Amino acid sequence: MIRVLVASRSSTMCAALENTIRSSPILELVGAVEPDRLSLSSVYADVLLLDVSDSDHDSLEFADLAIPAVLLLLDDVDSALVSSALRSGIRGVISRDATPQEIEGAVNAVASGLVVITPGSLIKLLPEAAPFAEELAESLTDRELEVLDLLAEGLSNKLIAHGLTISEHTVKTHVASIFAKLGASSRTEAVSQAIRRGLVML
């Protein structure tokens, strides 16, 4: 179980986050505090789920917290704010409008040592990605996007087939189609192209 501490000034948002955590089979709620009182909290957690306004997150201190990962929820995930947050040691930034499934996935990712930001933020942080921003000549199908997400997670064809309940041969067909549409010659290149185009979220 991933132990999660919630910090929010909004009682409504705090309650919603607590419900999301309690309803998850992989998350455990260990407490809830106001952001200004984080330094006084003695509660240990694997992830701090921090909901603050865009204007005051810079005033908070994270260096002395005995929490491995901080996931920040913001109204506006613009590039400057995301860059500042990542430099301050925050491991993930997602929208306050994120769904419970997205929050669970993001918490799981940062607890595993990954960095989480939205595709739009990633494109803004990588100006060299601009040439790839145009639409694909042929869009990926919903199934191909599902396969692409699993490719980005590093899963083998066999595991992708098991996860999507399809044959390994079908997975190979989808992978070949993904390569062709993205103009990629390897899994690494396909994932890189997909990230630059905002097709997958890390």
Going by their DSSP bridges, the two strands 2-8 and 27-33 should be labelled as parallel
**Does one domain contain both 119 and 36?**
yes
**Last-in-domain residue among 125, 152, 169:** 125
* % of the chain exceeding 90 in pLDDT: 43
Tally of domains within the chain: 2
pLDDT at 44: 85
pTM of the model: 0.59
Of 68, 103, 125, the position where a domain reaches its end is 125
Q: Which of 95, 125, 155 is the endpoint of a domain?
A: 125
Q: Print the domain residue range for 82.
A: 2-125
- Condensed to tens digits (0 to 9), the pLDDT of residues 118-134 reads 766 665 666 554 444 45
**Is residue 29 located within the same domain as residue 41?**
yes
- Provide the strand spans (E) within 41-169: 47-51, 69-74, 92-95
CA 114, CA 38: separation in Å to the nearest integer? 23
Same-domain check for residues 111 and 138? no
Whether residue 98 sits in one domain with residue 79: yes
Q: Which of 62-71, 101-110, 177-186 has the lowest mean pLDDT?
A: 62-71
**Percent of the chain at pLDDT above 70?**
80
CATH of the domain at 157: 1.10.10.10
**Cα distances (angstroms) measured from residue 118 to each of 73, 98, 168, 182, 201:** 11, 10, 30, 20, 6
Whether residues 8 and 71 fall in one domain = yes
